[in-house]
Amino acid sequence: MNRIVLSTTLTLAAVTPFAMRGADYASTAPTLDLASPSPENPNRFSFGPTFGLNFKADFYNNINPGTTLAGGNHTYNDGHVLADSGIAVDGLTQNWGYQNGSQYNAAHGGTMNFLNVGSSSATGNPQYGGELIYQRVIGSLPFLSGDWGLEAGFGFTELDLRENLSGTATVDSFPLNGVIPPGPGYNGTFSGPGALLGDTPMRTAATGYQKLSGQLFSLRLGPFAEWKLTHKLSLAASVGLTLAPAMVDYDFSETATLAGGGVISESGHSSKTKLLYGPYVGAMLRYDFDKCWGVYVGARFQNLTDLNQSIGSRTARLDPSVTVYATAGISWKF
């Protein structure tokens, strides 16, 4: 809500002086001949590719696997191994549980294996897209040589923010010592009785990835001012509000080869759609070949709200709060 208030305030503050000047001039001009000449082509369309910088994805895991010391408490995305009433005496525990059949490895007396991924961040630069911009000149600037008007832009950005899990994902293996575990979904208790599992994990590295991907659309609106630097070269500045529907997928996949043989893997997927919003400020430098056609380069700073989505205890956050767009393309005036 603060972003909407800020954007609206900036937009009104930028438009008001120009609107008041136009109204005052119209009331004092005695004849049509004394009015400032209108631009020959007050409508402008501009289109080109965009390159989004500084998009960020934060990945959080609310699970703590603990240390590899004997007798500790360990929690995982796919189960737990906790102390029970006799853990200090026998080095075994009945207070454990798991979710998937792939976690059991029968080799060398059998082990139960649990995956864990730490919290981390990822950026991907640039994020590619495109934008169509429409500008309508409304009046002349009260200073220097130039015009002012309203600007609307419609764009899209393809998102692909990926983190490889080398160094942040691990698998903990606990010995079964010949015990055949109950089926997946088993949960032991503190006081038992239940299947006995060794309480000291062997921790090894896992590989895989987690990512946010999808599309970010944008519809932005605000005033602009354009100054003539030369007969063919002009500089424009704009400010306003962006509304940005986002359709984002959260995916992860992890795999580990166990020391005793076998492989353990885990994956997940979720999708979410949300309307993001926030203010923007931009600038465009345009060179006109003739009265209709030209080329431009531009940049825009944008501050949008976040998008969060979860899979179990895992949470991924798309953070577009400090993004910068660079663009270039062709323009047409009529």
Q: What does pTM read for this prediction?
A: 0.78
What contacts 154, CB < 8 A, 6 or more positions away? 131, 132, 217, 218, 219
- The pLDDT assigned to 274 comes to 97
- Give the span between the Cα atoms of 130 and 330, in whole angstroms: 12
* Architecture category of domain 2-32+39-64+119-170+205-333 in CATH: Beta Barrel (2.40)
Query: Each residue of 297-306: pLDDT tens digit?
Result: 999 999 999 9
What length is written for the chain? 334
- Please report which confidence band the pLDDT of residue 77 belongs to, taking 50, 70 and 90 as the band edges: confident
C-alpha distances out from residue 318 to 15, 51, 182, Å: 32, 17, 40
Residue 50 has pLDDT above 70, yes or no: yes
Query: In a 3-state reduction of DSSP, which class is residue 126?
Result: coil
- Give the span between the Cα atoms of 238 and 234, in whole angstroms: 13
Position 9, amino acid = T
- Give the span between the Cα atoms of 82 and 103, in whole angstroms: 17
Strand partners, 161: 212
C-alpha distances out from residue 331 to 150, 271, 307, Å: 16, 37, 33
How many alpha carbons fall within 13 Å on the CB side of residue 298?
Answer: 31
- The pLDDT assigned to 87 comes to 60
Which has more confidence, 308 or 27?
Answer: 308
Instruction: Report yes or no: 72 and 84 within 8 Å, Cβ to Cβ.
Output: no
Mean pLDDT lowest for which of 51-55, 85-89, 158-162, 268-272? 85-89
- The pLDDT assigned to 273 comes to 97
Residue 241 has pLDDT above 50, yes or no: yes
- Please report which confidence band the pLDDT of residue 327 belongs to, taking 50, 70 and 90 as the band edges: very high
Residue 15 has pLDDT above 60, yes or no: no
Query: Each residue of 86-125: pLDDT tens digit?
Result: 765 678 999 999 998 888 888 878 899 998 887 888 887 7
Instruction: Report yes or no: 269 and 296 within 8 Å, Cβ to Cβ.
Output: no
Which has more confidence, 216 or 64?
Answer: 216
Residue 192 has pLDDT above 60, yes or no: yes
Q: At 114, which helix (H) or strand (E)?
A: strand 111-117
Position 61, amino acid = N
Mean pLDDT of 75-86: 87
Instruction: Report yes or no: 161 and 55 within 8 Å, Cβ to Cβ.
Output: yes
- The pLDDT assigned to 52 comes to 96
Strand partners, 272: 248
For 282, the token pair is 């931009």
What contacts 106, CB < 8 A, 6 or more positions away? none
Residue 157 has pLDDT above 70, yes or no: yes
- The pLDDT assigned to 167 comes to 67
For 198, the token pair is 């060794």
Quote the radius of gyration of the chain (alpha carbons, Å). Answer: 30
Average pLDDT of the residues of the chain: 85
C-alpha distances out from residue 176 to 14, 94, 196, Å: 71, 11, 7
